[in-house]
Structures are given as structure tokens and as C-alpha cells.
Amino acid sequence: MRKTPPKNVYIRSVSETKCSCGKKGLTVWSAGEYGPSWRTVRHFCQDCFADLRRDIQAFSARNDNRKVILRGYQGTRIPAWMREY
């Protein structure tokens, strides 16, 4: 049986000042996929990261527990609260 490679989800900060959840004043992040070009999956802040985490876990469960790895996009450093999902 062939092992499925992990799914990479890339994270970068964006210059928006308001998150899609409505909060202002927090750093807004973009989760996306990188192929030939960037494709944003979702914008989020620290307060609504739990929603993205829940979606990642659901994706993993639907795909035979495929591992999902959060990676910084082009040198972006991922905060500790994001790495500990």
C-alpha cells in the first residue's frame, strides 16, 4: 500500500486590518495552497484559528487521516499558537 504524502497548507500574513470574523486590530493571516500560483483557502486571526483547525481535522479524517502540515510561505514565521494545533 502506497503511503499518501502529507498535505502542505501554507501560511502568510496579509495587510488587512479586519478579519473575516469581524475582529479588528489583530494580525490577519492567510492559509492557502501554492502550486503555480497562490490560492487562498481562508483568512483568519488568532481568535478564529479554531475554525481553521476544525476544518483541517475534518479534511484529514475524510482523507484516511492524511497528515496536514502548516508551513510558512516564503520565510513567514508561524507563531507558536499556530504550530500547536
To the question of pTM greater than 0.85 for the whole model, the response is no
Predicted local distance difference test score (pLDDT) of residue 29: 94
Residue 11, domain member (yes or no): yes
Residue 40, domain member (yes or no): yes
What's the one-letter identity of residue 10?
A: Y
Residue 31, domain member (yes or no): yes
- What is the tens place of the pLDDT at every residue in 17-75? 788 888 888 899 999 998 888 899 999 999 999 999 999 999 999 998 899 999 999 98
Residue 14, domain member (yes or no): yes
Predicted local distance difference test score (pLDDT) of residue 15: 78
In Å, what is the CA distance from 41 to each residue of 1, 3, 11, 36, 37?
A: 30, 25, 10, 15, 13
Residue 1, domain member (yes or no): no
d(CA 20, CA 11): 16
Residue 12, domain member (yes or no): yes
Residue 2, domain member (yes or no): no
d(CA 38, CA 84): 24
Comparing 19 with 15, the larger pLDDT belongs to 19
Q: How many domains does the chain have?
A: 1
Comparing 68 with 84, the larger pLDDT belongs to 68
Give the domain extent around 28.
7-83
In Å, what is the CA distance from 59 to each residue of 2, 44, 45?
A: 19, 17, 20
